[in-house]
Structure 1
Amino acid sequence: MEKLMSIRRDLESVPDSYILPPDSRPGETEVPLCKTIPVIDCKGEFGRDPTKLIQQIIEASTEFGLFQLINHGVEEKLLQDALKVAKEFFGLPDEDKAILFSDDPKKSCRLYTSIDYMKEEVHYWRDSLRHPCHPLEEHRQFWPEKPAQYRDVMGSYSAEVRKLSLYLLDMICDGLGLEPGYFRNSTQLTEVQLMAANHYPPCPDPSLTLGLPKHGDFNLITILLQEMDGLQVLKDGQWLAVEPLPNAFVVNIGHTLQIISNGKLKSAEHRVVTNRKLARTTVTSFIAPSNSCQIEPAKELVKKFIPPLYRAFTYKDFLATYVTDTYQRKPPLERYKFQI
C-alpha cells in the first residue's frame, strides 16, 4: 500500500525514485493546447453522411492515431457519474483501498501504481484501478464494493462504451475495405474489455516526473473519458496537449489495430503530465483480443505489390514482449516488422 500515490499526502518534493532522467522529463516549458487534433461530430454535418463520417475517422486514425468524439450517443449523466464514482473510489479511506491493492498482474480486479513496480527504474505519478468488464456478469462480482454505486455505474458505462467501440470498429472496417463484420464477428478479436480508473494526484514539481511515460496502447482501440488536461500526443516529434472537450471521448488507435491495418492506421504515442495543484482522474476502456488470438495484417490489405509489414504472432506473446520492450524503452512493434 505504501507504493500508492493516493495515500502519500502533503509531499513537499518529488521522491528520488520518481525523478526521471533529464532527457525523459517533461521540463518547465508549457505544451500549448492543440487546436488541430481532429474532433469528429457523430451528429454533425459529416455524421449525417456515413461515408463522410468513415472518411473522417480513417483520416484522423492515419494522421494522428487519435481523435476526439462528440455527440457520440452516451448520455451526459452517465459520463459524469462514471467520473464521479472513480473520484470517490480514490477518495476512500486507505483501509478500503487496501482490500484491492495487489502487485499480482494476474489478479482480476486490482489497484496498483505500476504494472511491475520492482522492475521500473523510475516510478510514475499515478494509481490505477483496473478490471475486466466483458462479459459483465462474469466480472462484476469482483469489482469494488465501495463506493456503493460503483458496480451499477461502471456496469452501465462499460456496456455503453463497448457498443460505441464496436460501432467505431465497424466504421474502420468499412474504411479499410475489410469484409463487413471483420472485428465484430471475430469474437476473439474483441473478446476482452478492460476498464481502468486512473488517478494522478497533485505533484510538487511536474517538470521532474510523469503520470505515464511515452507509450502506445497495445490493444485494438481505447476510449478515454477526461475532464481536465494532462494527456499529450506525440506528432512529428512534437508534443501536443489534448484539449478536454465537454462530454467528449478521446479515441486512441492501438498497436494491434495498426498491425491489422498493415500500417495504414497509426497507434498514437502519448504520455500524461502531472499538475501542481489539481488531481486528475480519468476512466478508460480498452477493447482487446483474447490471449490466443493470432494477430497479423488483414489478408484483404496484403496484395502482390503491398507485402505484409508485420509477421503473425499471438496476442499473449505480444503482451509479454510489450512489457519488456516498454521497460527497456524499445519500440514494441519493431521486433514484429519484416525487414524490407
Structure 2
Amino acid sequence: MSVSPAVVIGAGLVGASVGCALSKAGHRVHLEDRNASHAQVAAGIGAGTTAPADPDEVVLVVVAVPPAALAGVIIDALTRFGQATVTDVGSVKAGVLNALWDSGGDVTRYVGSHPMAGSQFSGPLTARADLFTDRTWVITPHRKSSASATSTVGDLVAVCGAHAVIMDVDVHDSAVARVSHLPHLMSVLMAGHLNEVPTDQLQLAGQGLRDVTRIAGSDPGLWEQILGANSAAVLPELRAVQRQLDTLIAAIESDGTTGARSHLERGVAGTRRIPGKHGAAPVQYRQLVVEIPDAPGSLSRLFADVAEAGVNVEDLSIQHDPDRQIGYLALAVAPDQAEVLITRMATAGWAIGDADPSGDRPS
C-alpha cells in the first residue's frame, strides 16, 4: 500500500499509535513533535524513527496535533512535503478546511480523516498498534481532493486495521457532536457534580458511576479546543438535552417516579440503536459477573477456563471491591452462550451470576 515512507507529526496517543500500526506492518515512519522527548519516547516503543525524512520521498503525512494547531501544521506539511498526501486525525473538520481554503496552498493533496478511537489517557506511553483495529475511521475528502490522495488515506486506514467510512465534512462535524462531544460533556457534568457529594457517600459508588464518568478524566485543554472548534454543532445538541431534562424534572415533580417512565424507556430504546461490533446490528448481550480473588494468577486461570468453555467474550470490565480483597469481572456474552459459560465456570469453582443492573456485582 502506498503509505511509505510516512511522517507522523504529533507523537501523542493517536499519532504514536498510528506510527506503531504502520511500523508493525513494515512501513517506514518518521516522527516529529515540538516536544522532542515525546517523539523519542514514541520511537522507543516502536512507532518509528526520529531521523528526518527526505521531503521528496515522503508519500503520506499524518498530522496528529491539538485542534488549535491543526490548520497551521497542515499548511506547513503541504509546503514542506511537496509530493505527499496530507491527512489529519482531528475530531473537527470544517474550521480546518476553511483555513486551508484561505491559505492558497495545494489543497488537492489534503484529505481529512478522523479515527473513532482513543481513551481518556494521553501521551506516547499509552500508544499501541491495535488502537484502531476494527474501529471506524472517517475519511472526509473535499471537492478538490484528488482521487489519489483519497486512495492513500484509505490505504492508511486499511493498514491500521480500521473500517473506512466516507463522509462529508459538515455531516461529520454534526455526527461527532452527537455521538462523541455531547456524551463527553454529559460525563463531565456528572463527574463535576461528584465534587458536591460527601466522601463517605462516594464509598457506595459502583461500576455504573465509573462507566458514566470515565471519559471525564480526559485532558481539559484538548477538549476546550474541540468544543470551541465545533460549538456550532454542539450547542443544538446541548439545548436538546436541556429540553429533555426540563421535561424529566417536570414529570418527576408532578407524578413522582412514574412520570419518568417514558424517559427511562426512551433511554433503553436509545441503547438498542448503538451498533454492535464491526458496525453490525445491535446485539443485547447478557452481562455475567465472576468473583475473582485478588491474588497472583487469578485472572490467567479465569481466562483459561473461559477459553475452555468455547464462549466468545464480547466485552469485559473489572470492578474492585473497596472492602474485600476481591474483584468482579463483568463478561458480556451472546445470550445463547451464557448458560454454557455459567455451567463451565461454576464447575471450575468460580462464583458467577448475572450482573446487578446498578453495577457489575452479581445480582
What's the TM-score bracket when you normalise by the shorter of the two chains?
under 0.3
Q: Taking CA–CA contacts closer than 8 Å with sequence separation of 6 or more, which of the two structures ends up with the larger relative contact order? A: 1
TM-score, length basis structure 1: 0.23
* Structure ID, larger Rg: 2
Q: Name the one with the larger helix percent.
A: 2
